[in-house]
Amino acid sequence: MKVALKLAAICWGVCVLNTSWASDLIIFPAGGQSSEQMEQDKFQCYGWAKNESGFDPMATPTATTAPPQQQAKKSSAGRGLIRGAALGGIIDGSDGAKTGAAAGALMGGMRSRDQQNSQAQQQAQWEQEQTAIYNRNRSTYNRAYSACLESKNYTVR
């Protein structure tokens, strides 16, 4: 269970890192600045944009909320089979036990699949929300960083 949560967080982090690389900026020294000056200005603007936006693009992405908890299995085909056989046996003897076992297994399997689908949907929704939050924060940082560099006579795209 804990391994699944760790894997989900790792998968989310990889997705976020992949989207952040696509948003790298291109910086051109429009005022003829030297490479050394450009590096100094970029570092200064990095610090300013980080403080202004509250976002550090160099930090490892972290989730703002914990991933949805995986619920313990409520039912399964095996449990349903046993319950159905017991109930069918009480109601209609051995024939009822066979029929009840089949019906119970079917119902238990369906419940198990429904639960798995629900958990997968919750996980996907959480990952989408976390990625959207990260991208929004990264965009705010990029705007601040660009504004700082443009004020120092750089063209930023």
What is the full per-residue pLDDT of the chain (157 aa) written as tens digits? 454 555 455 555 555 444 444 468 999 999 999 999 999 999 999 999 999 999 999 999 999 999 988 766 655 555 655 665 555 556 655 666 666 556 666 666 677 777 888 889 999 999 999 999 999 999 999 999 999 999 999 999 9
CB atoms within 10 A of CB 108: 22
Instruction: Report d(CA 139, CA 143) in Å as an integer.
Output: 6
Spatial CA neighbour of 74 closest among 31, 44, 113: 113
- The answer to whether 153 touches 28, Cβ cutoff 8 Å, is no
Distance CA 144, CA 17 (A): 20
Phi and psi at residue 24, in whole multiples of 5°?
-60, 145
State pLDDT tens for residues 130-145. 999 999 999 999 999 9
Q: Do 27 and 156 touch, CB atoms closer than 8 A? A: yes
pTM for this predicted structure: 0.62
- Residue spans per domain, the chain: 2-61+74-156
Side-chain half-sphere exposure of 62, counting CA atoms within 13 A = 6
Q: For the chain, how far is it from start to end, CA to CA, in angstroms? A: 44
